[in-house]
Amino acid sequence: MQYNYNYRLNPPEALTETLLHHVDTCRQLYNHVLYLLNEADDIPARYEVQGLLPDLKTWWDDLGDVHSKVLQMVVKRVYDNLSTLKAQKENGRDVGMLKWKPPREYRSLTYNQSGFKLKNTSGRPVLWLSKIGEIPIHLHRDIPENATIKQVTVKREPTGEWYATFGIDVDEATPEKPENPENVVGIDMGILTYAHDTDGYAIESPDFSEERERLERAQRDLSRKEHGSANWEKQRRVVAERHADLKHKRRDFLHKLSNHYAREYDLVAVEDLDAKGLVELPGNSRNRAGAAWGTFLRMLEYKCDREGTHFVSVNPRGTTKECASCSVSTEKPLWVREHSCPACGFEADRDANAAWNILSRGLEDIGVGHSESTPVETALPVDTLVAAKRVVEAGSPTLNERTASAVNE
């Protein structure tokens, strides 16, 4: 199985200058390759362009300072971007052409297959990079012993911090998914409550209002600085740190919530949401973007694969209107938060009813069929509201006694 492990780097000042030089050389090569492709009548194969690199080094001295694999990955990056652009055009999107990269938009370099090594020097871990040297690295978690490091990407964040992302292959068998999953759950995503599941748990959306307010204050201060001045650059760093703080807290919540569902259940059913399309809809787009539904579903999917859990993405059409007990559809405006079926009398929270419909469709998709229990029999009379803070502190919305006592202490 393939994973990405991310670690903080602590390069000394001399190596920071070397890293910046390598990144900028890669940026210039990226722009040069893009220029060559724009001038060509027919776009050549990627390996033909990579074959030009030795000749470029004869007159472009800076290329000789950078590892050859890193230069090849720059060419690959151009072609990957072209492929993405082509796919968007084929999907009917109105897109333009690739643009040259200015310094602030190119901040990484990639070693593939060779040119890197994790070492232990004088009792501390370091990352050795060819033609750069040994960089102290903070290994906050161990890389599995049965893992092979295939690739390392070194990136400088807008905050000025450096990170290394290891692409690893873990030599382990993928857990088999149960043929007849017993412990199953359906999840309805929302804004008022982030997730509402069929076990009666409603997970509150995390409150990032304080972080957003700090970010907005920093952005207002930045707008008052003279662009490009020392004070502007100092405040730009503050804005970047505020962005990073908000991003890290959101991803921490999403990782822990998705990890809980992937580990605790045999099958997880969710809606096949067009997260990007939902954000582009008028009205309340900020809250929809902040919910990061697409990120959560991607995390949940790969973690379900890792844990041997069925991940089923169902058509979301009608899950809110349809009664989970008798399948009769009832129109409900957004402000109506309760489901009350005029046909069978089933009453439940609007999102709880949708979660049951999602689970029912998920079971059908894998050929299991409906659960023996009906929503009327199993739905909790009062849904359990779980605070987002509780998810972050415990790593799971359901606390056992031992974890609960540790949190209280």
The pLDDT of residue 129 is above 70: yes
- Can you give the residue ranges of every domain in the chain? 2-170, 184-408
End-to-end CA distance of the chain: 38
Contact 126, 120 (CB under 8 A): yes
Contact 359, 380 (CB under 8 A): no
pTM, entire model:
0.80
pLDDT of residue 34: 94
Contact 184, 269 (CB under 8 A): yes
pLDDT of residue 281: 46
CA 168 – CA 72 distance, rounded (Å): 20
Other CB atoms within a 10 A radius of the CB of residue 167 amount to 16
Question: Chain centroid to CA 344: how far?
Answer: 41
Backbone angles phi, psi at 273, to 5 degrees: -85, 140
C-alpha angle 350/352/358, rounded to 5°?
105
pLDDT of residue 407: 36
Contact 316, 271 (CB under 8 A): yes
- Mean per-residue pLDDT, 356-378: 68
pLDDT digits (tens, 9 = 90+) for 5-51: 999 999 999 999 999 999 999 999 999 999 999 888 888 999 999 99
- Mean per-residue pLDDT, 284-290: 51
Amino acid identity of residue 204, one-letter, is E
- Enter the tokens of residue 70: 């890193």
CA 394 – CA 259 distance, rounded (Å): 12
Confidence bin at 208 (pLDDT 50/70/90) = confident
Amino acid identity of residue 91, one-letter, is N
| Percent above pLDDT 70 for the chain | 85
Which residues are marked as active site? Answer: 188, 271, 351
Alpha-carbon torsion (324, 325, 328, 332), positive or negative: negative
Tell me the C-alpha to C-alpha distance, in Å, between residue 219 and each of 213, 237, 238, 239: 10, 11, 9, 6
Confidence bin at 400 (pLDDT 50/70/90) = very low
pLDDT digits (tens, 9 = 90+) for 145-197: 888 999 999 999 999 999 999 999 887 777 888 888 888 999 988 877 888 88
pLDDT of residue 181: 86
CA 24 – CA 28 distance, rounded (Å): 6
Contact 246, 211 (CB under 8 A): yes
- Mean per-residue pLDDT, 101-105: 91
C-alpha angle 1/394/289, rounded to 5°?
70
CA 205 – CA 203 distance, rounded (Å): 7
Q: What is the overall mean pLDDT for the chain?
A: 83
The pLDDT of residue 93 is above 50: yes
